[in-house]
Amino acid sequence: MAVANNELEKVIIQSVMEELAKKGLLSQKGKDHVMAAAMMDTPLVPNTESEEMVTFPPQEEMQISNPFNADAVKAMKKLTPARIGIGRAGTRPKTMSLLRFLADHAVAQDAVFLDVSEGFLQRMNLMSVQSAAVSKDEFLQRPDLGRRLSEEAVKIVSEKCEKNVQVQILIVDGLSSTAIEANIPDLLPALMQGLKSAGIKVGAPFFVKNGRVWVQDHVASIVNSEVIISLIGERPGLGTAESLSAYMIYRPNETTVEADRTVISNIHKGGIPPAEAGAHLTDVIQQILAAKASGVKLNQQK
Amino acid sequence: MPESTNQKITSVGIDIGTTTTQLVISQLTIENTASGTLVPRVEITDKEVIHRSRIYFTPLLDRDLINAVEVSKIVETEYKAAGLTPEMIDTGAVIITGETAKKENAKAIIDALAGFAGDFVVATAGANLEAIYAGKGSGAALYSAQRHQVTVNIDVGGGTSNYAMFHEGKAVDSSCLNVGGHLIEFERHGDRITYISEPAKIALKHTGQRLQPGERVTLPQLRPIVKAMAGCVVDVLKTSVHTELTKELLMTPPLQLAHPIRKVMISGGVADYVYALNGPTTMAEVTAFGDFGPLLGWELKVCLERDGFVLEKPAETVRATVIGTGTQSVNLSGSTIHLQENTLPIRNVMVISPFTSLIPETPQGIAEVIKNEILRLQVDHFEGIAAIAMKGPRTMSFANINILAQGLLLGMHDYLCKAKPLILVVEADCGKVLGQCINASANKPLELICIDQLEVDNCDYIDIGKPLMGGRVVPVVLKTLVFNR
């Protein structure tokens, strides 16, 4: 049956190619190439059953073949997620370290290019609006567009968000959607509980797609909150793609500069655990509200 | 909110041993080492010994009863010499070690020294803790972390040899052997025996020698017994199959020897003779301090080198334990929640570790474990304050932290009804959020102290000091009281 199918396939492809070539849509060279590919014995569709999953050795495993002091390498590896103690094959990395590097790079790219899933936003009960950047490509090429809301978003925010609250929370994808999905489920409830216990009035948190840090200034100008906090995915590295930052600012306006923002970074399971970060951010927000200032101005008051 | 970036605290350490008593005063610098965009991390960044006392013979009323009044006089004299008053001392630890680590002594000294060390006077004793303090004071702990080599420190004092094994700066094993330089006493610079202790009698029986107080001995007569004792010290490092004599002299379980030993350091009164170029050649040299310490030191070196151990010189020898006591007994918590500052300091908080394995899944399950442990330890009859220690929630998710908070409130319900504060010590970095969850779940305002990033393994009691660094951390002294076992 496979042989018969192959023969039939060949005939179909050949006639399609000839039709395309007649219309000038395919060169002779192009036609030959596609035909050659079609004639190959092995199918081009990968067979998932025969593909083996690659399992990496645990990251903490020391890969140096004959270490002088294995304890020293182990202790140093414990201190950093950096690629140390990975050994070498001649002047090149070992296959496993190279594969791990490529895999980590792929994870980092996914974090930037993937969107936060609709299912996640529904589960977290978050309203979603978009920045002025309509696609990921535009978001990456035009930083200015990620810093303000789309016209539609402006309308939604002005209609649906509570005004004049003490704190407005934004969840912004930034450069890592992965960070949002990994941390928000533990961070947001801890932060909401802390603010509630402290008797602080908080507007309903919502999500901004394709957003950058400055989008918080635009939102604040609409909702008129005292403090606005963005929980935003950090630029992923090869160590983790799950790191999240919290940027907070007290009443931003047109004279706002970067030094006016207070930031807590490195929130992820290997850094500040997200739930603990929620409780810590409550403290920081209370300080900002009391000082009526954020960023360097807040530190100067301490 | 005023927020200092660094703060200094003055700590006193007092070591009362079988033979000698010493005191050091050190200054610890506490700093926030995290950068501005991270959660503050407060650490002890510098330890400076600002005063070392003379080395006194331990004042005794009889062979093992300490003269507490005399000890307090020593402390008073040394404070004066250092130009300090008790009010200037923030924290302190007293360690009573070796043969004198007895309940009556500890009690008398706590009473006699109350008021000499600021917010707390702490009496700690116990061979294992002494060994660890000695190893930290000698520099063995630091050496093991800096060179990444497993290092054993043996503090050889008058009555005991205390072993502590360090791996990457952490004590991983300890033991105590009843061998020391003062087990046989002599006329100073003479050759007449004035006293033979029990462990020395045991050793004499094994070498088949008959020595009596009042007798005069020669160096060749003394050497076999001292060699035998030194052999026992090395025996513990070498193997877990011990000679009969070693077995009899071990005061605690032996070293487990789970890690291969790379370096050996000797501290304590005998140490200087281990690192000497030449051994003693006459009885007068041996008995310079009225004992056989110099000879034990030399024989120990010979024995260690014969068995292939590599000796490393410690930073401190005779003062190792007291320096370790003074500089290492204070631990700092991570970020902390505490509601009522005026409840601090609290002394002698009993530590309960109810969870031996993974924390149960439901609040009810957690509560049951806590209630059983409270029942087992009869905490309800205990007048003082107890703390619940644990590694952390089942997972670090907010849901699991909340479940833990509810379980703790449920399990501690009866205890909290007595208007006692709820004190929690957690190893994981979740003190703030756990405290927040407890406050949110409690139906009435609670007095709550929630300390994180602190390990309290093998510890019976803790003292919690007044908050430092703008209320972000509390100093915690971990205590293992041998006389409570």
CB contact under 8 A, A190 and B440: no
Quote the pLDDT of residue A46.
55
State whether A21 and A157 are in the same domain: no
A189 touches chain B (CB under 8 A): yes
In a domain, A255, yes or no: yes
- Of residues B231 and A42, more confidently modeled: B231
Q: Which residues pair with B185 in a beta bridge?
A: B195
State whether A157 and A29 are in the same domain: no
In a domain, A83, yes or no: no
Residues of A in contact with B3 (CB under 8 A): 302
Q: How confident is the model at residue B1 (pLDDT cuts 50, 70, 90)?
A: very low
In a domain, A257, yes or no: yes
The Cα B232–Cα B242 span in angstroms is 8
* Residues of the domain holding A35: 2-39
Q: How many domains does chain A have?
A: 2
State whether A129 and A269 are in the same domain: yes
Q: Tens digits of per-residue pLDDT, B429-463?
A: 888 899 999 989 888 888 888 888 887 765 667 87
In a domain, A75, yes or no: no
Residue of B3, B147, B433 with shortest CB distance to A278: B433
CA of B148 vs chain A CAs: smallest distance (Å):
5
Reduced to 3 states (helix: H, G, I; strand: E, B; else coil), residue B301 is helix
CB contact under 8 A, B398 and A266: no
Look over chain B and give the mean of its residue pLDDT values, rounded to a whole number: 84
**Mean pLDDT (whole number) for A120-126:** 96
Residues of B in contact with A290 (CB under 8 A): 1
Choices 3.30.420.40, 3.30.70.1150, 2.40.160.20, 3.30.910.10: CATH for B140-314: 3.30.420.40
State whether A11 and A158 are in the same domain: no
B6-125 falls under which CATH superfamily?
Answer: ATPase, nucleotide binding domain (3.30.420.40)
CB contact under 8 A, A299 and B36: yes
A49 annotated among ligand-binding-site residues? no
CB contact under 8 A, B37 and A283: no
In a domain, A74, yes or no: no
The CATH number that applies at residue A227 is 3.40.50.11240
Residue of A272, A279, A302 with shortest CB distance to B3: A302
Q: Tens digits of per-residue pLDDT, B325-363?
A: 777 666 777 666 666 667 777 877 888 888 877 888 899
State whether A22 and A154 are in the same domain: no
Q: Tens digits of per-residue pLDDT, B153-190?
A: 999 988 889 999 999 888 888 899 999 999 999 999 99
Q: Tens digits of per-residue pLDDT, B266-293?
A: 999 899 999 999 999 999 999 999 999 9
Quote the pLDDT of residue B482.
37
CB contact under 8 A, A272 and B37: no
Q: Which of B183, B194, B142 lies closest to B166 in space, CA to CA?
A: B142
Least confident of A43-57, A215-229, B19-33, B166-180: A43-57
Quote the pLDDT of residue B483.
32
State whether A240 and A123 are in the same domain: yes
Instruction: Report chain B residues touching chain A, CB-CB < 8 A.
Output: 1-3, 36-39, 145, 147-150, 167-168, 335, 396-398, 401, 428-433, 435-437, 439-440
Q: Tens digits of per-residue pLDDT, A133-192?
A: 999 999 999 999 999 999 999 999 999 999 999 999 999 999 999 999 999 999 999 999
Q: Tens digits of per-residue pLDDT, B199-239?
A: 999 999 999 998 999 999 999 999 999 999 999 999 999 98
In a domain, A230, yes or no: yes
In a domain, A202, yes or no: yes
What's the residue count for chain A? 302
Contact (Cβ atoms closer than 8 angstroms) between residue B396 and residue B431: no
CB contact under 8 A, A278 and B401: no
Domain ranges for chain B: 6-125, 140-314, 335-453
Contact (Cβ atoms closer than 8 angstroms) between residue B462 and residue B477: yes
Contact (Cβ atoms closer than 8 angstroms) between residue A271 and residue A243: yes
A234 annotated among ligand-binding-site residues? yes
Contact (Cβ atoms closer than 8 angstroms) between residue A149 and residue A191: no
Give the nearest chain A residue to B439 (CA atoms): A197
Quote the pLDDT of residue B379.
62
State whether A159 and A254 are in the same domain: yes
Q: Which of A94, A90, A88, A96 lies closest to A59 in space, CA to CA?
A: A96
> Could you give the ipTM of this predicted complex?
0.76
In a domain, A277, yes or no: yes
State whether A129 and A16 are in the same domain: no
